[in-house]
Amino acid sequence: MGPPTHGRRLVSEANFIRATRDAGYKTLSTAIAELVDNALQAGATTIHIFVLEARDDNGARQISIAVLDDGHGMARSTLQGALQFGGTERFDDRSGFGRFGMGLPNSSVSQAPRVEVYSWLKQGRVFRVYLDIDEFVNRQRRSIPGPVEASLPRWALRVAGPTGTLVLWTRCDRLKERKASTIGKRLRGALARLYRHVLWRGVHIVVNGEELQPIDPLLRTSDKINGGSVPFGDPLILEVRSPLSEAASTIEVRFTELPVELWHDLATETKRAIGLTGGAGVSVVRYDREIDHGWYFMGEKRKENYDDWWRCEIRFAPELDELFGVTNNKQGINPTPDLRAILEPSLEPIARLLNRRVRQAFERVKESRPSPAAVAASHRDRVLPNIGPDCRRGPGGVAGYQYAIEIHALETPEFFQVRTNGDRIIVVLNEYHPFYHRVYARACNTADQEERFRLESLLLASARAALAARSPAEREWEERHRGLWSDALSAFLSY
């Protein structure tokens, strides 16, 4: 029996193209990312994105969006297939961004009813193909018209390179925003993060004349604020086998810790602006572009507010797409149980450790704030008799000692030390002594701050008394006394 002579076409073009419009790009930025990926894969070093605003006959705003690159451009035969669904010369290639032959047509129809692609291998000799949804829906066409010679739009000519490609989406009809300036701003924010690695490599991406500066979700640097996160340990390199080719591939995981001491009291708006608030989780980078961001691979650990204060980035190569569950619109991952079994045992304990370190940093910050006891002691000091010639207090005259409490990791066994700085008495609590965790930190963490007040008053009073030691012998005795007291306390608390 030979093949059936009558049958149905595999695809009904008119319905297919309408259904495909909803194939699911979550945002304009992820759709545009398909065009940027293609430009980068064509070796572009400068990519211009235009958000163009015009008015229709009724005065309503119409937005068109274009991506222009200075990559190697396309030969006529390649251009012919570029808008075909599945049209690619790199089907299932794993050496770059593209592999499905879907990105260009799929992203285009998701945003606009018409797409035009211009490409040139030589200055002044530009070819163009287009796809107009209405022509298919009205059944005027069943195939894509071939390339014809054309000239570039005027606004593109100014920045076009000697070779390159321009993709133009006209009359975008699926946008959430109406104004070109708002759309441009959103795009800039999203792409600066998606393509941070590419921007760090020196590629220029320009949106309506404004060049993108990389945004780092790991907050190693930020142009909006001083300081930055620091790496936590060396990157973790995990060797895995690609389920497809059996070839060895690596997954790279890095962590950073944000500076709690420096940033804890930033204004809420600043925290939001630098991406601190709600930024917890893993940034997943495929090849060179962020493909997803979320609370992945943390096992049983649930996300808490403290987890905003450390970050993680996981990088993998396209040969591991099957493990990560990358689908053809490259907007996210859907990790397989195999991948989770590889990553979770390493990542979950680190996540828990980092959470703990953040919590401790916040405790330290809280405790080093001026304590009410220190304020009260500074105020009340003047009622006490003078304890030494260098005290700058005369009866009924100048104010007495000022008091402060600090917490440090001391190498000595004492549970506290007394330091002076001019007329300031500083009680330095030793973070390593059991007194700190068993007694002091607990008092600080109870809702009733009276206990902390009383405990600190006791320490401040003792520190003042220590200053009464004048002669070297007296001072030596005072230190010996504090050392013995600390040792005994350590023994008594460690039951």
Please state, in angstroms and rounded to a whole number, the distance separating the CA atoms of residues 477 and 471.
Answer: 10
Q: Does 88 bind ligand ATP (CB under 6 A)?
A: yes
- Which is closer to Mg ion, CB of 83 or CB of 469? 83
The pair of structure tokens assigned to 37 is 């990926």
Please state, in angstroms and rounded to a whole number, the distance separating the CA atoms of residues 292 and 186.
Answer: 17
Estimate to the nearest angstrom the gap between the alpha carbon of 399 and the chain centroid: 50
416-421 β-sheet, strand order: 402-408, 424-430, 416-421
Question: Residues 98, 184, 279, 400: which binds Mg ion (CB under 5 A)?
Answer: 98
Contacted by 456, from Mg ion, ligand ATP, none: CB < 5 to 8 Å by type = none
Segment interacting with ligand ATP, rule: CB under 6 A, options 31-39, 237-245, 248-256, 419-427: 31-39
Closest approach, Cβ 207 to ligand ATP, in A, equals 17
Question: Residues 74, 152, 194, 405: which binds ligand ATP (CB under 6 A)?
Answer: 74
Segment interacting with ligand ATP, rule: CB under 6 A, options 8-16, 93-101, 251-259, 269-277: 93-101
Segment interacting with Mg ion, rule: CB under 5 A, options 35-43, 341-349, 437-445, 449-457: 35-43
Closest approach, Cβ 44 to ligand ATP, in A, equals 7
Please state, in angstroms and rounded to a whole number, the distance separating the CA atoms of residues 263 and 229.
Answer: 10
- Which is closer to ligand ATP, CB of 89 or CB of 390? 89
Name which of residues 34 to 73 contact ligand ATP (CB under 6 A). Answer: 34, 38-39, 42, 69, 71
Closest approach, Cβ 296 to ligand ATP, in A, equals 22
List CB contacts of 215: < 8 A, sequence separation 6 or more: 189, 192, 193, 196, 222, 275
- Which is closer to ligand ATP, CB of 69 or CB of 431? 69
The residue written with tokens 């008394």 in the block is 465
Contacted by 100, from ligand ATP, Mg ion, none: CB < 5 to 8 Å by type = ligand ATP
Contacted by 315, from Mg ion, ligand ATP, none: CB < 5 to 8 Å by type = none
Closest approach, Cβ 289 to Mg ion, in A, equals 11
- Which is closer to ligand ATP, CB of 167 or CB of 351? 167
Please state, in angstroms and rounded to a whole number, the distance separating the CA atoms of residues 448 and 2.
Answer: 88
Closest approach, Cβ 90 to ligand ATP, in A, equals 5
Closest approach, Cβ 333 to Mg ion, in A, equals 18
Please state, in angstroms and rounded to a whole number, the distance separating the CA atoms of residues 239 and 159.
Answer: 43
List CB contacts of 291: < 8 A, sequence separation 6 or more: 284, 285, 326, 330, 331, 332, 333
Contacted by 281, from Mg ion, ligand ATP, none: CB < 5 to 8 Å by type = none
In the complex, which residue's CB is closest to ligand ATP? 98
Task: Build a one-symbol-per-residue string for 97-136: x at contacts with ligand ATP by CB under 6 A, - elsewhere.
Answer: -xxxxxxxx-------------------------------
Q: Are 375 and 426 in contact (CB under 8 A)?
A: no
Contacted by 277, from Mg ion, ligand ATP, none: CB < 5 to 8 Å by type = none
Q: Are 163 and 73 in contact (CB under 8 A)?
A: yes
Please, what sign has the CA dihedral across residues 199, 200, 203, 204?
positive
Closest approach, Cβ 21 to Mg ion, in A, equals 18
Segment interacting with ligand ATP, rule: CB under 6 A, options 25-33, 96-104, 391-399, 409-417: 96-104
- Which is closer to ligand ATP, CB of 37 or CB of 216? 37
Segment interacting with ligand ATP, rule: CB under 6 A, options 88-96, 209-217, 351-359, 452-460: 88-96
Question: Strand, coil or helix: what is 270?
Answer: helix
Size of the site for ligand ATP (CB under 6 A): 22
List CB contacts of 37: < 8 A, sequence separation 6 or more: 97, 98, 103, 289, 330
**What are the b/e assignments for 296-333, b being 16+ CB within 10 Å?**
bbbeebeeeebbbbbbbbbbbbbbbbebbebeebbbbb
Radius of gyration for the chain, computed over Cα atoms and rounded to the nearest angstrom: 33
Segment interacting with ligand ATP, rule: CB under 6 A, options 23-31, 94-102, 185-193, 213-221: 94-102
**333 secondary structure, DSSP code:** -
Backbone dihedral angles phi then psi of residue 413, each to the nearest 5 degrees: -80, 0
Question: Residues 30, 38, 108, 119: which binds Mg ion (CB under 5 A)?
Answer: 38
Residue 91 vs residues 95, 254, 375: alpha-carbon distances, Å: 11, 31, 71
Backbone dihedral angles phi then psi of residue 329, each to the nearest 5 degrees: -100, 10
Please state, in angstroms and rounded to a whole number, the distance separating the CA atoms of residues 307 and 281.
Answer: 8
Residues of the shown chain interacting with Mg ion in the complex, contacts defined by CB under 5 A? 38, 98, 103
Residues of the shown chain interacting with ligand ATP in the complex, contacts defined by CB under 6 A? 34, 38-39, 42, 69, 71, 74, 78, 82, 87-90, 98-105, 165
